[in-house]
């Protein structure tokens, strides 16, 4: 069946519309894949930064609270040591005053002897009390200082280790989140690239089919145009008896002239 100009134009429009729709669909898929990968990467980076900041802040607060408690305990120990030494010294002074008053009130030689002995005893007791108080106070103060220094050193070391652990944990969590986000983005981009490659291959095949169909329609149209002028004319009549056929083709005329008709 001959293909006319209208049918060729309709086929060309149909195939061209389908090719344009396939190209638009492939472009939309590519844009969606790119925007999805960008949004996923940005979300991974924001989550990693937020986790790192929270871990760093929590470690700092814990270290500050620990050091504050250590300082408060050391202050309490120093105050208790000082008050104990003061109480011991006050007790020795009161005893010496009482013995002196007793010696002053006594009379006679016995009283003088008693007072001398009491004074000697009171002096020795007071001197012993002062020496013991000074020694105990110095010992307690030195021991408290050593204990406080050791405690503060241990607290500082523990706080430093805790802070370093918090920083390392925050860095590890941030790196893990970033690496996981990168892997997910790479997987998503790979899948999107595969899908786009398939879509591009399908679109290329469709475009090739489109061009082949257009070429076939064009060739059919050209062949139809070439075939029409070569149609043989119908036999109408002879000009006379034994003469030529009017309206006959050249093949029939040649056959009549050579007597083969």
Residue with tokens 């009390």: 129
Q: What is the mean pLDDT of each run of 10 residues along the chain (261 residues)?
A: 55 72 82 85 88 90 88 85 86 82 69 79 86 88 91 94 94 95 94 93 92 89 71 50 55 50 43
How far is Cα 73 from Cα 63, in angstroms, rounded to an integer? 16
pLDDT score for 190: 94
pLDDT score for 1: 44
- The answer to whether 162 touches 63, Cβ cutoff 8 Å, is yes
Return the H-helix or E-strand segment holding 246: strand 245-246
Residue with tokens 């591009």: 200
pLDDT score for 106: 59
How far is Cα 32 from Cα 1, in angstroms, rounded to an integer? 46
- The answer to whether 198 touches 35, Cβ cutoff 8 Å, is no
Q: Of the candidates 248, 254, 251, which has an alpha carbon nearest to the alpha carbon of residue 236?
A: 248
pLDDT score for 168: 95
pLDDT score for 243: 58
pLDDT score for 231: 45
CA angle 172, 166, 45 (to 5 degrees): 40
Q: Of the candidates 226, 225, 257, 232, which has an alpha carbon nearest to the alpha carbon of residue 242?
A: 257
């Amino acid at each position: 069946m001959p293909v006319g100009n209208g049918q060729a134009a309709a086929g060309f429009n149909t195939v061209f519309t389908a090719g344009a729709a396939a190209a638009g669909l492939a472009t939309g898929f590519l844009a969606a894949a790119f925007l999805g990968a960008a949004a996923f990467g940005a979300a991974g980076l924001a989550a990693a930064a937020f986790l790192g900041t929270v871990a760093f802040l929590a470690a700092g607060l814990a270290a500050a609270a620990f050091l504050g408690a250590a300082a408060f305990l050391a202050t309490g120990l120093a105050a208790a040591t000082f008050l104990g030494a003061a109480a011991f010294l006050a007790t020795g002074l009161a005893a010496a005053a009482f013995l002196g008053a007793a010696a002053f009130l006594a009379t006679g030689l016995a009283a003088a002897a008693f007072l001398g002995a009491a004074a000697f005893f009171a002096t020795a007791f007071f001197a012993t009390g002062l020496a013991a108080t000074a020694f105990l106070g110095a010992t307690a103060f030195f021991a408290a200082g050593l204990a406080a220094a050791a405690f503060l050193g241990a607290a500082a070391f523990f706080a430093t280790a805790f802070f370093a652990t918090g920083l390392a944990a925050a860095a590890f969590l941030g790196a893990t989140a970033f690496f996981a986000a990168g892997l997910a983005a790479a997987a998503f981009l790979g899948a999107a690239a595969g899908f786009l490659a398939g879509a591009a291959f399908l679109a290329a095949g469709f475009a090739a089919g489109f061009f082949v169909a257009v070429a076939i329609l064009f060739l059919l149209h050209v062949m139809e145009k070439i075939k029409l002028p070569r149609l043989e004319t119908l036999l109408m009549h002879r000009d006379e008896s034994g003469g030529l056929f009017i309206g006959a083709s050249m093949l029939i005329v040649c056959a009549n002239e050579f007597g083969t008709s």
